[in-house]
Amino acid sequence: MPELSSAHNELEHERTYVAGLYRRLDELRAEKQRQLDQVRRTIAAGSHQNRSERDAFATMYEDRLAQLNAVDDRLVFGRLDLDSGEERYIGRIGLSTEDLQQLMVDWRAPEAGTFYQATAFERMGVRRRRHLILSSRDVAAIEDDVLDASMLTDSGSLQGEGALLAALNSRRTGQMSDIVGTIQAEQDRIIRAPLPGVVVVQGGPGTGKTAVALHRAAYLLYTHRERLKSAGVLLVGPTDAFMKYIERVLPSLGETGVVMASVGSLMPGIHAEPEADEAVAELKGRLEMAAVIKRAVANRQRIPAENRKLNVEGSILTLTPRQVRRARDRARATGKPHNEARATFVKIMLRELTEQLTEQLEESSGAGNTADRSYLAEDVRTSRDVRIALNLAWMPMTPEKLLRDLFSKPAQLEAAAPHLTDAERFLMQRPEDATWTEADVPLLDEAAELLGELDASAGRNAAEKEQERRRDLANAERALENVSASLADAGVDGVLTAEALAEHNVVADARLTAAERASSDRTWAYGHVVVDEAQELSPMHWRLLMRKCPVKSFTVVGDIAQTSSTAGSHSWQQALEPFVGDRWQLEELTVNYRTPAQIAEAAVRMANAAGLVVSAPKAVRDGRWDPVVNRASELVPALLDALPKELEVAADGLLAVIAPVRLIGEVRAAVRKVYGDRVGLGAGGLGQDIVVITPREAKGLEFDVVIVLEPAEMLKPDSVRIGDLYVAMTRPTQRLRLIATGEVPEGIEG
């Protein structure tokens, strides 16, 4: 059996080489851990520069160690046999020996590109492409793509199921896996597109849009490391469940420095919920809301209707509308945000009121009185009447306070949005303590931009600030008692003062990576932004994101046909033209890797029958089952009857029940009553292989089996768009069942 012997030898050869790669990985881990431990044992002593350098080294070692830990699974996945005779291994990161002999090429490096791009018609110098299928740290199987016809008789070439099909047929786990070992040529071309400008990746369900977006982020960080390391990359997704679903992908690709945020968490300190009323979401998403927020801020700079009397230490001063208007106009002329311009307004008003008080006292005491009047400025500044009057005219304001007042006080909304109808303004009204929504996030950001920073120390005198400093110092002194044991454990001698400890805490911020600093800084300017499910964003959301990347470098990923929000986009031109004109390029993904052909075709037929024009990417595989449609008299009993059969099909994978919003509570409770803790949210979790979710929550996720409840309801006007049912039907990788007590939309059954 010479062929079997040759195959065995090839497998053993790869196992030996891969074992060597893992030994080198472990050596590098141990080296970085030693270096990190040594830095941590070094106390913050010496100059400020020395401490900063120490912290920078610690951050560098921590980042490298995190990268080395994250790539352990399927460290290497390919080998190229080149015309030159070279064997080039392709993996998640680059590895070299101590004397810099290359062991493995990072998949993002230019010389790795041929692994994804070479074909039998254009070999690009590649004779054979070998896929290594790993189980833990061992090579379980090998598959060869022979590109050089002269090698077809080579008994060392091994065939298998196909790395791509094996990945597609694997069970879902609730966490997205990377596709680094199975990237296809059309995907690779988009991933490696140049950094500048706006690249729009349009693709139907299952075409790998999200995978392309994530791999592109990793590729750009590798290729443009110097430019993007300090500025960072922001990746935006539709929901928290989606972000949890994809959170492991970038670390597995060797990148740990990307800021990941759902649409509802783009404003630091705010965690917003979906907007319940689509009509309200559409109103708040209009670009004209930027002008509404601007007027709302301007309306908080008020001119009194009449003169106001102010008591300053028994003297009565007069504050006139003319004085306030003049000071307001001069403050506005600075061009500074509201809270910063207020300092100019207050300074002008205090000076004029102090001059008025001085004139009064001089008149009453006689012309020859030359007494020192310098104390009068402090009397005016600390006067309760003056403070109240200036705050009424120009109150310092937070974005949260501005919007709470705007939406809870009809008069303020009418003044800021006179162009809206009474009915539209009524829709937007809500209680002052209402929960923040995703539609509020860009309005809060707009308000923050116009208001500027709120100086917490504004108005405090030097004595108050010194008192606070002393309190902080006392806290630091008490903290010394708790750190003395740590110092001894570290083998450090010497004296650490409270002042040094306080300074060290400030310096420690230098250890934060760019991503960590960016995630808490609303004004951070990113070097590149990746947006997934981008078709759902409102114009105001786009305005927020454009502000976060002034250089307008974007990867925009989505499918217009799947838009389900009334505030979302009808076309990419509509979404992007207000911000970048025609300076964007469209790339399309044409192959459906996720959805079996029978299910994909049913979804397209349904959409077309309902009047929606959708792209119909070609499915790469046929499924074992056609879509199943059940008509039932009672929904929940029919679902509970079908679940055991579908769970058997899912077999260690994931099953999703997708239902209209109005049914979610009832259905989730019924399923939990039978299956208990196995029932989860989003993409599920540890031990949760059943999820009950809405079409919106299902966006971007995938499941082995999907059961869609009351599909006709997802086509009604209150479901916004046909995209809801289209999204729901295209989530499964194996089997689809629909259960309806009413009509079944046309086209589904062929």
Nearest CA to 74 among 251, 258, 219? 251
Q: What is the pLDDT of residues 107-155, one digit of tens each?
A: 999 999 888 888 877 889 999 888 898 888 999 888 888 888 777 655 4
Q: What is the pLDDT confidence band of residue 308, given thresholds at 50, 70 and 90?
A: very high
pLDDT (tens digit, 9 = 90+) per residue, 214-224?
889 989 988 99
pLDDT at 717: 54
User: For residue 24, is pLDDT > 70?
Assistant: yes
Asked if 188-267+522-592 and 597-740 have one fold, the answer is: yes
What topology is assigned to 597-740 in CATH?
Answer: Rossmann fold (3.40.50)
**pLDDT value for 86:** 93
Domain ranges of the chain: 2-171, 188-267+522-592, 289-451, 463-505, 597-740
pLDDT at site 506 = 39
Place of tokens 């945020």: 261
**What pLDDT, on the 0 to 100 scale, is given for residue 724?**
86
C-alpha span between 250 and 555 (Å, rounded):
16
- Considering only residues 347 and 716, tell me which one the structure prediction assigns the higher pLDDT: 347
Segment 356-377 shows an average pLDDT of: 75
Contact 209, 559 (CB under 8 A): yes
Average pLDDT value for residue range 545-570:
90
Contacts for 197 with CB less than 8 Å, ≥ 6 apart: 552, 553, 554, 583, 584, 585
246 in Cβ contact with 176 (< 8 Å)? yes
Other C-beta atoms lying within 10 Å of the C-beta of residue 386: 22
Task: Tell me the one-letter amino acid at 327.
Answer: A
Which stretch of 71-75, 163-167, 255-259, 687-691 has the lowest confidence by average pLDDT? Answer: 163-167
Model confidence at 702, pLDDT cuts 50, 70, 90, reads: confident
What share of the chain in percent tops pLDDT 90? 50
Element (H, E) at 76: strand 76-82
Identify which has the larger pLDDT, 186 or 514. 186
pLDDT recorded at residue 496: 40
Phi then psi for residue 234, to 5 deg, are -105, 130
Place of tokens 């509020």: 440
Residues facing residue 735 across a β-bridge: 705
Using 50, 70 and 90 to split pLDDT, how confident is the model at 426? very high
Highest mean pLDDT among 47-56, 586-595, 678-687: 586-595
**What pLDDT is stored for residue 507 in this prediction?**
38
Does 481 score more than 70 pLDDT? no
**Which pair of tokens denotes residue 474?**
């006392």
The CATH homologous superfamily of the domain defined by 188-267+522-592: P-loop containing nucleotide triphosphate hydrolases (3.40.50.300)
Per-residue model confidence (pLDDT) at position 175:
58
**Which range among 256-260, 337-341, 727-731 has the greatest average pLDDT?**
337-341
Tell me which residue has tokens 């995938």: 702
Rounded CA-CA distance 112/194 in Å is: 17
Amino acid at 705: V
Mean pLDDT, all residues of the chain? 84
Output the CA–CA distances (angstroms, integers) from residue 463 to 351, 459, 460, 477, in the order listed: 22, 12, 8, 21
Determine the pLDDT at residue 570. Answer: 86
> Residue 714: how many CB atoms within 10 A of its CB?
27
pLDDT at residue number 369 = 54
Taking the CA atoms of the chain, what radius of gyration do you get in angstroms? Answer: 32
pLDDT at 324: 96
Q: What is the pLDDT of residue 721?
A: 55
Q: What's the confidence (pLDDT) of residue 490? A: 33
* Separation between Cα atoms, residue 409 and residue 412, nearest integer Å: 6
pLDDT at 47: 55
**CA 617 to each of CA 197, 202, 527, 588: distance values in angstroms, whole numbers, following the listed order:** 26, 11, 32, 10
- pLDDT of 630 strictly over 90: yes
pTM of the entire predicted model: 0.77
> Which structure tokens are listed for 592?
């459906």
pLDDT of amino acid 305: 93
Residue 309 has pLDDT above 50, yes or no: yes
CA distances from 293 to 112, 260, 393 (A): 50, 27, 18
Q: Which residue has the higher pLDDT, 7 or 578?
A: 578
Question: pLDDT per residue over 637-675, tens digit each?
Answer: 999 999 999 999 988 889 999 999 999 999 999 999 999
Check pLDDT > 90 for residue 263: yes
Cα 216 to Cα 213: distance, rounded to the nearest angstrom:
5
pLDDT at position 520 is 84
Mean pLDDT calculated for residue range 723-746: 91
pLDDT at position 493 over 80 = no
More confident residue, 3 or 291: 291
Sign for the CA dihedral angle at 321, 326, 331, 332 comes to positive
Higher pLDDT, 49 or 429: 429
Instruction: Give the amino acid at 211.
Output: A
At 226 the pLDDT is: 82
As a whole number, mean pLDDT of residues 405-425 equals 96
Distance CA 549, CA 523 (A): 10
Predicted confidence (pLDDT) at residue 321 exceeds the cutoff of 70: yes
Binding site for ATP, residues? 203-210
Structure confidence at residue 49 (pLDDT) = 59
How, if at all, do strands 690-693 and 679-680 pair?
A: parallel
- Whether 381 shows a pLDDT value over 60: the answer reads yes
Summarize the annotated binding site as residue ranges.
203-210
Name the pLDDT band for 701 (thresholds 50, 70, 90): confident
Question: What whole-number distance in Å separates Cα of residue 725 and Cα of residue 647?
Answer: 22
